[in-house]
Protein backbone atom coordinates (compact mmCIF):
# COMPACT_ATOMS: atom_id res chain seq x y z
CA UNK A 1 0.00 0.00 0.00
CA UNK A 2 2.84 2.39 0.89
CA UNK A 3 4.39 1.64 -2.51
CA UNK A 4 1.22 2.93 -4.21
CA UNK A 5 0.72 5.98 -1.96
CA UNK A 6 4.24 7.37 -2.37
CA UNK A 7 4.14 7.56 -6.24
CA UNK A 8 0.63 8.98 -6.03
CA UNK A 9 1.74 11.74 -3.64
CA UNK A 10 4.74 12.43 -5.87
CA UNK A 11 2.58 12.81 -8.98
CA UNK A 12 0.07 14.97 -7.10
CA UNK A 13 2.79 17.27 -5.84
CA UNK A 14 4.39 17.44 -9.28
CA UNK A 15 1.08 18.39 -10.95
CA UNK A 16 0.39 20.97 -8.24
CA UNK A 17 3.83 22.47 -8.82
CA UNK A 18 3.20 22.57 -12.57
CA UNK A 19 -0.17 24.28 -12.01
CA UNK A 20 1.44 26.88 -9.82
CA UNK A 21 4.16 27.41 -12.39
CA UNK A 22 1.57 27.87 -15.16
CA UNK A 23 -0.39 30.37 -13.07
CA UNK A 24 2.78 32.30 -12.33
CA UNK A 25 3.73 32.32 -16.02
CA UNK A 26 0.29 33.59 -17.04
CA UNK A 27 0.50 36.33 -14.43
CA UNK A 28 3.96 37.29 -15.66
CA UNK A 29 2.68 37.32 -19.26
CA UNK A 30 -0.20 39.62 -18.31
CA UNK A 31 2.23 42.02 -16.66
CA UNK A 32 4.43 42.00 -19.75
CA UNK A 33 1.43 42.75 -21.98
CA UNK A 34 0.50 45.67 -19.75
CA UNK A 35 4.07 46.92 -20.03
CA UNK A 36 4.01 46.58 -23.83
CA UNK A 37 0.73 48.50 -23.99
CA UNK A 38 2.20 51.27 -21.86
CA UNK A 39 5.31 51.46 -24.05
CA UNK A 40 3.17 51.54 -27.20
CA UNK A 41 1.08 54.35 -25.73
CA UNK A 42 4.20 56.41 -25.05
CA UNK A 43 5.53 55.62 -28.54
CA UNK A 44 2.24 56.75 -30.13
CA UNK A 45 2.39 60.01 -28.16
CA UNK A 46 5.94 60.65 -29.39
CA UNK A 47 4.91 59.81 -32.96
CA UNK A 48 2.05 62.31 -32.72
CA UNK A 49 4.56 65.01 -31.74
CA UNK A 50 6.78 64.01 -34.68
CA UNK A 51 3.81 64.22 -37.07
CA UNK A 52 3.03 67.71 -35.80
CA UNK A 53 6.56 68.98 -36.56
CA UNK A 54 7.13 71.19 -39.63
CA UNK A 55 8.58 69.63 -42.79
CA UNK A 56 7.71 67.00 -45.37
CA UNK A 57 5.79 63.84 -44.50
CA UNK A 58 5.81 61.21 -47.25
CA UNK A 59 4.22 57.77 -47.18
CA UNK A 60 2.18 55.15 -49.02
CA UNK A 61 0.35 51.90 -48.47
CA UNK A 62 -1.62 49.64 -50.77
CA UNK A 63 -3.42 46.37 -51.34
CA UNK A 64 -2.52 43.56 -53.74
CA UNK A 65 -4.91 40.73 -54.51
CA UNK A 66 -5.12 37.99 -57.10
CA UNK A 67 -5.58 34.35 -58.01
CA UNK A 68 -5.09 32.11 -61.04
CA UNK A 69 -6.63 28.73 -61.83
CA UNK A 70 -6.51 26.15 -64.63
CA UNK A 71 -8.94 23.24 -65.07
CA UNK A 72 -8.59 20.35 -67.52
CA UNK A 73 -11.30 17.70 -67.92
CA UNK A 74 -12.89 18.66 -64.60
CA UNK A 75 -16.24 17.17 -65.57
CA UNK A 76 -18.04 17.92 -62.29
CA UNK A 77 -18.38 21.55 -63.34
CA UNK A 78 -20.25 22.96 -66.33
CA UNK A 79 -17.09 24.18 -68.13
CA UNK A 80 -14.50 21.40 -67.56
CA UNK A 81 -11.64 23.11 -69.42
CA UNK A 82 -10.99 26.69 -68.42
CA UNK A 83 -8.43 29.22 -67.27
CA UNK A 84 -9.48 32.00 -64.93
CA UNK A 85 -8.00 34.59 -62.67
CA UNK A 86 -8.07 38.09 -61.31
CA UNK A 87 -5.30 40.53 -60.42
CA UNK A 88 -5.72 43.87 -58.70
CA UNK A 89 -3.94 46.47 -56.61
CA UNK A 90 -4.58 49.79 -54.90
CA UNK A 91 -2.12 52.52 -53.92
CA UNK A 92 -2.64 55.39 -51.47
CA UNK A 93 0.28 57.82 -51.42
CA UNK A 94 0.82 61.26 -49.93
CA UNK A 95 3.48 63.97 -49.77
CA UNK A 96 2.58 66.70 -47.28
CA UNK A 97 4.56 69.79 -46.39
CA UNK A 98 3.74 71.62 -43.17
CA UNK A 99 5.27 74.95 -42.20
CA UNK A 100 4.44 77.57 -39.60
CA UNK A 101 2.59 79.86 -42.02
CA UNK A 102 1.42 77.49 -44.77
CA UNK A 103 0.89 73.87 -45.81
CA UNK A 104 0.88 71.92 -49.06
CA UNK A 105 -0.87 68.51 -49.16
CA UNK A 106 -0.64 66.13 -52.14
CA UNK A 107 -2.50 62.82 -52.43
CA UNK A 108 -2.97 60.12 -55.05
CA UNK A 109 -5.32 57.13 -55.03
CA UNK A 110 -5.21 54.36 -57.64
CA UNK A 111 -7.25 51.16 -57.91
CA UNK A 112 -6.76 48.85 -60.90
CA UNK A 113 -7.81 45.25 -61.50
CA UNK A 114 -8.06 42.76 -64.37
CA UNK A 115 -10.15 39.57 -64.75
CA UNK A 116 -9.99 36.58 -67.06
CA UNK A 117 -12.25 33.62 -67.79
CA UNK A 118 -11.35 31.53 -70.83
CA UNK A 119 -13.48 28.54 -71.84
CA UNK A 120 -10.82 26.56 -73.72
CA UNK A 121 -13.52 24.57 -75.55
CA UNK A 122 -14.96 27.78 -77.02
CA UNK A 123 -12.67 29.14 -79.79
CA UNK A 124 -14.39 32.55 -79.61
CA UNK A 125 -13.64 32.98 -75.89
CA UNK A 126 -10.88 35.46 -75.14
CA UNK A 127 -7.63 34.24 -73.56
CA UNK A 128 -6.70 37.72 -72.34
CA UNK A 129 -7.22 39.56 -69.09
CA UNK A 130 -9.62 42.49 -69.35
CA UNK A 131 -9.91 45.63 -67.27
CA UNK A 132 -12.34 45.40 -64.35
CA UNK A 133 -11.58 48.27 -61.93
CA UNK A 134 -10.15 51.59 -63.05
CA UNK A 135 -9.90 54.46 -60.55
CA UNK A 136 -7.39 57.32 -60.51
CA UNK A 137 -7.61 60.39 -58.24
CA UNK A 138 -4.93 63.00 -57.58
CA UNK A 139 -5.21 66.21 -55.59
CA UNK A 140 -3.06 69.13 -54.43
CA UNK A 141 -4.13 71.51 -51.64
CA UNK A 142 -2.23 74.68 -50.68
CA UNK A 143 -3.17 76.82 -47.69
CA UNK A 144 -1.98 79.95 -45.89
CA UNK A 145 -2.77 79.83 -42.18
CA UNK A 146 -5.12 82.41 -40.64
CA UNK A 147 -5.27 80.68 -37.26
CA UNK A 148 -3.98 77.36 -35.97
CA UNK A 149 -6.98 75.54 -37.45
CA UNK A 150 -8.16 77.78 -40.34
CA UNK A 151 -6.45 78.66 -43.60
CA UNK A 152 -7.21 80.37 -46.91
CA UNK A 153 -6.67 77.63 -49.47
CA UNK A 154 -6.64 76.63 -53.14
CA UNK A 155 -7.35 73.11 -54.38
CA UNK A 156 -6.75 71.26 -57.63
CA UNK A 157 -8.25 67.77 -57.96
CA UNK A 158 -8.31 65.49 -61.01
CA UNK A 159 -10.30 62.26 -61.41
CA UNK A 160 -10.40 59.90 -64.39
CA UNK A 161 -9.82 56.35 -65.62
CA UNK A 162 -6.43 55.19 -66.94
CA UNK A 163 -6.85 51.72 -68.44
CA UNK A 164 -9.80 52.59 -70.68
CA UNK A 165 -11.43 55.83 -71.82
CA UNK A 166 -8.64 57.99 -70.42
CA UNK A 167 -9.98 61.47 -69.70
CA UNK A 168 -13.35 60.47 -71.20
CA UNK A 169 -14.79 61.50 -68.86
CA UNK A 170 -12.22 63.33 -66.79
CA UNK A 171 -12.97 65.81 -63.99
CA UNK A 172 -10.77 68.70 -62.93
CA UNK A 173 -11.80 70.84 -59.95
CA UNK A 174 -10.03 74.14 -59.34
CA UNK A 175 -11.21 76.43 -56.59
CA UNK A 176 -10.52 78.49 -53.50
CA UNK A 177 -12.00 78.97 -50.05
CA UNK A 178 -11.28 77.84 -46.49
CA UNK A 179 -9.57 74.75 -45.08
CA UNK A 180 -10.20 73.61 -41.50
CA UNK A 181 -7.68 71.35 -39.72
CA UNK A 182 -9.06 70.74 -36.21
CA UNK A 183 -6.61 67.87 -35.56
CA UNK A 184 -3.39 66.73 -37.19
CA UNK A 185 -4.89 63.97 -39.34
CA UNK A 186 -8.20 65.57 -40.39
CA UNK A 187 -8.53 68.09 -43.23
CA UNK A 188 -11.87 69.66 -44.21
CA UNK A 189 -11.96 71.80 -47.38
CA UNK A 190 -14.87 74.18 -48.08
CA UNK A 191 -14.47 76.03 -51.38
CA UNK A 192 -17.57 78.02 -52.47
CA UNK A 193 -15.66 79.30 -55.52
CA UNK A 194 -14.89 76.23 -57.64
CA UNK A 195 -15.08 75.35 -61.32
CA UNK A 196 -15.67 71.74 -62.31
CA UNK A 197 -14.10 71.11 -65.74
CA UNK A 198 -15.53 67.98 -67.38
CA UNK A 199 -13.67 66.47 -70.35
CA UNK A 200 -15.63 64.10 -72.57
CA UNK A 201 -16.41 63.28 -76.19
CA UNK A 202 -20.12 63.31 -75.20
CA UNK A 203 -20.70 67.07 -75.01
CA UNK A 204 -24.47 66.61 -74.99
CA UNK A 205 -24.30 64.65 -71.70
CA UNK A 206 -21.29 65.98 -69.78
CA UNK A 207 -21.05 69.67 -68.94
CA UNK A 208 -18.71 71.87 -66.92
CA UNK A 209 -20.04 74.31 -64.33
CA UNK A 210 -19.36 76.54 -61.35
CA UNK A 211 -20.17 75.18 -57.91
CA UNK A 212 -19.05 74.48 -54.36
CA UNK A 213 -16.36 71.94 -53.53
CA UNK A 214 -16.24 70.10 -50.19
CA UNK A 215 -13.51 67.61 -49.28
CA UNK A 216 -12.98 65.75 -46.01
CA UNK A 217 -9.84 63.62 -45.62
CA UNK A 218 -8.70 61.63 -42.60
CA UNK A 219 -5.43 59.68 -42.80
CA UNK A 220 -4.01 57.92 -39.75
CA UNK A 221 -1.40 55.32 -38.81
CA UNK A 222 -1.62 53.68 -35.38
CA UNK A 223 1.02 51.02 -34.90
CA UNK A 224 0.27 48.25 -37.41
CA UNK A 225 -2.96 49.91 -38.60
CA UNK A 226 -3.17 52.28 -41.59
CA UNK A 227 -6.46 53.97 -42.37
CA UNK A 228 -7.58 56.57 -44.91
CA UNK A 229 -11.02 57.93 -45.77
CA UNK A 230 -11.62 60.66 -48.37
CA UNK A 231 -14.94 62.25 -49.29
CA UNK A 232 -14.97 64.59 -52.32
CA UNK A 233 -18.19 66.43 -53.24
CA UNK A 234 -19.10 68.94 -55.95
CA UNK A 235 -22.42 70.82 -55.85
CA UNK A 236 -23.15 72.58 -59.14
CA UNK A 237 -24.73 76.04 -59.06
CA UNK A 238 -25.95 75.54 -62.65
CA UNK A 239 -27.87 72.25 -62.37
CA UNK A 240 -28.10 69.63 -59.61
CA UNK A 241 -27.76 66.94 -62.32
CA UNK A 242 -24.14 68.08 -62.76
CA UNK A 243 -23.31 67.49 -59.08
CA UNK A 244 -21.32 64.44 -57.96
CA UNK A 245 -19.56 62.89 -54.99
CA UNK A 246 -17.00 60.12 -54.38
CA UNK A 247 -16.11 58.47 -51.06
CA UNK A 248 -13.02 56.22 -50.96
CA UNK A 249 -11.88 54.23 -47.89
CA UNK A 250 -8.70 52.22 -47.40
CA UNK A 251 -7.66 50.05 -44.44
CA UNK A 252 -4.61 47.87 -43.91
CA UNK A 253 -3.28 45.89 -40.96
CA UNK A 254 0.38 44.83 -40.93
CA UNK A 255 0.84 41.21 -39.84
CA UNK A 256 4.53 40.59 -40.55
CA UNK A 257 7.19 43.18 -41.32
CA UNK A 258 5.58 45.34 -44.07
CA UNK A 259 3.05 42.73 -45.22
CA UNK A 260 -0.52 42.47 -43.99
CA UNK A 261 -4.14 42.40 -45.06
CA UNK A 262 -5.88 45.29 -46.79
CA UNK A 263 -9.43 46.29 -47.61
CA UNK A 264 -10.60 49.10 -49.88
CA UNK A 265 -14.09 50.20 -50.79
CA UNK A 266 -15.48 53.16 -52.69
CA UNK A 267 -18.87 54.78 -53.26
CA UNK A 268 -19.84 57.26 -55.97
CA UNK A 269 -22.90 59.11 -57.25
CA UNK A 270 -22.67 60.79 -60.66
CA UNK A 271 -25.80 61.34 -62.73
CA UNK A 272 -23.86 62.33 -65.85
CA UNK A 273 -22.06 58.98 -65.84
CA UNK A 274 -25.36 57.15 -65.27
CA UNK A 275 -26.96 58.88 -68.28
CA UNK A 276 -23.91 58.19 -70.46
CA UNK A 277 -24.08 54.49 -69.52
CA UNK A 278 -27.80 54.29 -70.31
CA UNK A 279 -27.40 55.89 -73.75
CA UNK A 280 -24.05 54.57 -75.01
CA UNK A 281 -23.84 51.17 -73.28
CA UNK A 282 -27.46 50.08 -72.83
CA UNK A 283 -28.57 51.76 -76.06
CA UNK A 284 -31.46 53.69 -74.50
CA UNK A 285 -31.47 56.73 -76.79
CA UNK A 286 -34.57 58.14 -75.09
CA UNK A 287 -32.92 58.31 -71.64
CA UNK A 288 -32.79 61.66 -69.85
CA UNK A 289 -31.61 62.90 -66.47
CA UNK A 290 -35.19 62.64 -65.24
CA UNK A 291 -35.84 59.10 -66.51
CA UNK A 292 -32.68 57.23 -65.48
CA UNK A 293 -32.04 55.47 -62.18
CA UNK A 294 -28.89 56.99 -60.72
CA UNK A 295 -27.86 53.83 -58.85
CA UNK A 296 -25.09 54.09 -56.27
CA UNK A 297 -21.71 53.09 -57.74
CA UNK A 298 -19.60 50.84 -55.49
CA UNK A 299 -16.42 48.78 -55.52
CA UNK A 300 -14.34 46.85 -52.97
CA UNK A 301 -10.97 45.08 -52.95
CA UNK A 302 -9.64 42.61 -50.37
CA UNK A 303 -6.14 41.15 -50.41
CA UNK A 304 -2.58 41.33 -49.17
CA UNK A 305 -1.32 44.78 -48.26
CA UNK A 306 2.14 46.32 -48.33
CA UNK A 307 3.21 49.40 -46.40
CA UNK A 308 5.88 51.48 -48.13
CATH number at residue 78: 2.40.160
Residue 55 or 296, more confident: 296
pLDDT digit string, tens, across residues 117-157: 899 999 898 888 888 888 899 999 999 999 999 999 999 99
Q: Which of 34, 53, 72 is the last residue of a domain?
A: 53
> Using CA of residue 74, residue 77, residue 82, residue 83, what is the dihedral sign?
negative
Mean pLDDT across the stretch 26-45?
68
Whether 83 and 116 have beta carbons less than 8 Å apart is answered as yes
In sequence order, which residues have a C-beta less than 8 Å from that of residue 99 and are 6 or more positions away?
Answer: 54
**What are the Cα distances from residue 75, in Å, to 79, 80, 82, 83, 126?**
8, 5, 11, 14, 21
Same domain assignment for residues 37 and 90: no
| pLDDT at 84 > cutoff 60 | yes
- Residue 111, domain extent: 56-307
Whether 224 and 59 have beta carbons less than 8 Å apart is answered as no
Residue 167 backbone zone (phi > 0: left; psi -120 to 50: alpha; other: beta): left
In sequence order, which residues have a C-beta less than 8 Å from that of residue 175 and are 6 or more positions away?
Answer: 154, 155, 191, 193, 194, 195, 213
Same domain assignment for residues 15 and 75: no
Same domain assignment for residues 134 and 153: yes
Q: Is the peptide bond before 169 cis (omega within 30 degrees of 0)?
A: yes
Domain count, the chain: 2
- pLDDT recorded at residue 76: 82
Mean pLDDT across the stretch 244-262?
89
Same domain assignment for residues 222 and 137: yes
Amino acid sequence: MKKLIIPFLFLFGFSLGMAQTEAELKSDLANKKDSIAAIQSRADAIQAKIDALPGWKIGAFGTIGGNLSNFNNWYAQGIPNNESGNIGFTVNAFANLKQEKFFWRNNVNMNFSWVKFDDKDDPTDSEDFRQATDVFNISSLYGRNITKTLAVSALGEYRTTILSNFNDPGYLDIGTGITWTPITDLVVVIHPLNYNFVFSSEDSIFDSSFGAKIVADYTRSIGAINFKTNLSMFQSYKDSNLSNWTWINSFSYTLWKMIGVGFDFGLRSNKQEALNYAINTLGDTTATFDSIDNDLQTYWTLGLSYKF
